[in-house]
């Protein structure tokens, strides 16, 4: 991939959207205002939205010939991504979500990194930005090590090979070789795809030069639902791809079990059992201080709730993920694989 002079590769930006009236226009504006000198197209895969998303998308198509839409009747993210990939034309494929805001040099930097590293997929930091005190608290939790461990795409770090990256900028031939996203993975489809790419010998590259602004979930309930499904589907990945277990993914379910046992033991058997849930509460309160540095007091006060919601919802999703779900995914994919017991 030659990125010099007039040899810049053409780029397709793919966007799965569903009920994104709040952010879609701004997200597309950030794409169209990129400093990239090569050819660019935007393919928006429209799910069955119940707000003004379709109307806004139609306006964007009318306003700029580089913007196109394709239908995604299922509303599922991996199906939307595959539909957009199929409808797109160019050798570099950039994934952007309907609520993701690219920095002005995101695409030019990503194309350069593909060339310099030879990577199959490059990605960077998921920079959470809140618009109110709760969202700011969630953003702080999502970018702290106590919230998400050592995940570089959340917390930052040096440029390096990675297990997965946020969103991703791909070589088209890699997506075609892998058959795109696995549409049975309603969640965790990006992690699952990157696992397959790595197993095939491809390099996944993280760089802090790449940054996408992200809007956190606006309520406790929405955050809990998001992280429950993260945990539920990460368990499916570990059953679908044996050997993909990371100790970081076991921390939330382990913490949940320990807290539950401590509560029961402390209330029924001996108060000493309350040391575990008490210790967890103390840890997230103490951890919220560095995470919330510089935030308004109302936002800082909500960081422990955001941390607990993320940890415990993820853990419960992981623990309660049924084996039947993994069996269904494996059977649908047609793989002769066995679900671990």
Which is higher by pLDDT, 263 or 341?
Answer: 263
Which is higher by pLDDT, 158 or 275?
Answer: 275
Q: Which residues does 167 contact at the CB level (< 8 Å), separation at least 6? A: 94, 95, 96, 97, 100, 123, 126, 190, 212
**Which 3-state string (H, E, C) describes 151-214?**
CHHHHCCCCEECCCCEEEEEEHHHHHHHCCCCCCCCCCHHHHHHHHHHHCCCCEEEEEEEEEEE
The SS3 assignment for 254 reads: helix
Helix (H) / strand (E) containing 225: helix 220-240
The length of the chain in residues reads: 341
pLDDT-derived band at 67, boundaries 50, 70, 90: very high
pLDDT-derived band at 50, boundaries 50, 70, 90: very high
Please give the Cα distance from 250 to 314 (Å, whole number). Answer: 10
Q: Which residues does 138 contact at the CB level (< 8 Å), separation at least 6? A: 128, 130, 216, 217, 223, 306
pLDDT digits over 305-326, tens only? 999 999 999 999 999 998 887 7
β-strands 121-128, 67-71: how paired? unpaired
Tell me, what's the pLDDT at 249?
78
Please give the Cα distance from 122 to 113 (Å, whole number). Answer: 7
Q: Which residues does 235 contact at the CB level (< 8 Å), separation at least 6? A: 317, 318, 319, 321, 326
- 8 Å CB contact between 281 and 118: no
The SS3 assignment for 2 reads: coil
pLDDT above 90: residue 149? no
Please give the Cα distance from 259 to 280 (Å, whole number). Answer: 8
pLDDT digits over 214-234, tens only? 888 999 999 999 999 999 988
Tell me, what's the pLDDT at 131?
87
pLDDT digits over 250-286, tens only? 889 999 999 999 999 999 999 998 999 999 999 999 9
pLDDT digits over 2-40, tens only? 555 458 999 999 999 999 998 999 999 999 999 999 999
Mean pLDDT, rounded, of the chain: 90
Lowest mean pLDDT among 109-118, 126-135, 170-179, 327-336: 327-336
Torsion, CA 244, CA 241, CA 17, CA 62, rounded to 10: 110
Domain with CATH 3.90.550.10 in the chain: 5-218
pLDDT-derived band at 339, boundaries 50, 70, 90: very low
Distances (CA, A) of 311 to 215, 231, 280: 19, 9, 11
Please give the Cα distance from 104 to 96 (Å, whole number). Answer: 14
- 8 Å CB contact between 99 and 183: no
Tell me, what's the pLDDT at 325?
78
- 8 Å CB contact between 100 and 214: yes
Which residue reads 């806004």 in tokens? 56
pLDDT digits over 90-139, tens only? 999 999 999 889 999 999 999 999 999 999 999 998 888 888 999 999 99
pLDDT above 60: residue 335? no
Which residue, 222, 162, 151, 163, is CA-closest to 192?
Answer: 163
pLDDT above 50: residue 181? yes
Tell me, what's the pLDDT at 184?
85
The SS3 assignment for 22 reads: coil
Q: Which residues does 48 contact at the CB level (< 8 Å), separation at least 6? A: 18, 73, 75
Dump strand ranges (E) for 241-335: none
pLDDT-derived band at 302, boundaries 50, 70, 90: very high
Q: What is the DSSP string of 294-308?
A: TS-HHHHTTHHHHHH
pLDDT above 50: residue 45? yes
pLDDT-derived band at 1, boundaries 50, 70, 90: low
Mean pLDDT of 57-61: 98
Which residue reads 């993975």 in tokens? 185
Which of the listed CATH numbers 3.90.550.10, 1.10.1040.10, 3.65.10.10, 3.40.50.720 matches domain 5-218?
A: 3.90.550.10
Q: Which two tokens stand for residue 68?
A: 């196109």
């Amino acid at each position: 991939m030659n990125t010099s002079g007039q040899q810049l590769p053409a780029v397709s930006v793919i966007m799965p959207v569903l009920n994104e009236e709040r952010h879609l226009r701004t997200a597309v504006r950030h794409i169209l205002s990129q400093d990239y000198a090569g050819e660019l197209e935007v393919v928006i895969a429209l799910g069955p939205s119940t707000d003004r998303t379709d109307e806004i998308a139609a306006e964007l198509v009318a306003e700029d010939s580089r913007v196109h839409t394709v239908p995604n009747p299922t509303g599922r993210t991996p199906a939307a991504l595959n539909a957009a990939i199929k409808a797109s034309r160019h050798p570099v494929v950039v994934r952007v979500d309907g609520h993701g805001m690219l920095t002005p040099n995101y695409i030019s930097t990503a194309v350069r990194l593909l060339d310099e590293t030879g990577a199959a997929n490059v990605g960077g930091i998921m920079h959470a930005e809140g618009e109110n005190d709760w969202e700011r608290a969630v953003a702080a939790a999502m970018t702290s090590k106590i919230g998400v461990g050592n995940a570089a795409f959340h917390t930052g770090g040096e440029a390096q090979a990675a297990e997965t990256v946020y969103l991703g900028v791909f070589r088209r031939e890699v997506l075609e070789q892998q058959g795109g996203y696995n549409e049975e993975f309603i969640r965790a489809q990006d992690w699952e795809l990157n696992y397959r790419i790595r197993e095939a010998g491809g390099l996944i590259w993280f760089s802090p030069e790449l940054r996408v602004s992200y809007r956190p979930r606006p309520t406790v309930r929405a955050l809990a639902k998001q992280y429950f499904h993260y945990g539920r589907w990460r368990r499916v990945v570990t059953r679908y791809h044996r050997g993909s277990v990371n100790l970081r993914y076991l921390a939330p379910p382990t913490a949940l079990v320990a807290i539950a046992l401590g509560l029961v033991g402390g209330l029924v058997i001996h108060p000493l059992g309350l040391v575990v849930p008490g210790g967890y509460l103390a840890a997230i309160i103490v951890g919220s201080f560095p995470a919330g540095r510089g935030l308004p007091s109302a936002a800082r006060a909500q960081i422990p709730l955001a941390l607990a919601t993320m940890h415990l919802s993820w853990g419960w999703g992981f623990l309660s993920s049924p084996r039947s779900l993994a069996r269904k995914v494996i059977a649908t994919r047609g793989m002769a694989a066995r679900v671990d017991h």
